[in-house]
Amino acid sequence: MTISKQEAERRARTRWDQWRLLLAGMVTYRDLLVMDQDDVMEANAALDLHIRQQEKKSK
């Protein structure tokens, strides 16, 4: 059975920390399957640092 659009959005919001890494191209779906929550949090922190560094370079 297919989930509703609302349920899909709810799930995406719940798992945003994982989807963010995937959409940013930092990891693959397979990578996410083997990462624990600490890995996901550290990767998101690294992505935040990277974004800030890129913003400083562009100014």
For 4-53, the pLDDT digits (tens) are 999 999 999 999 999 999 999 999 999 999 999 999 999 999 999 999 99
- Classify 25 in phi/psi space as left (phi over 0), alpha (psi -120 to 50) or beta: left
Question: Strands (DSSP E) along the chain, which ranges?
Answer: none
pTM reported for the whole predicted model? 0.86
59: pLDDT strictly greater than 90: no
Whether 22 contacts 44, CB under 8 Å: no
pLDDT for the residue 26: 95
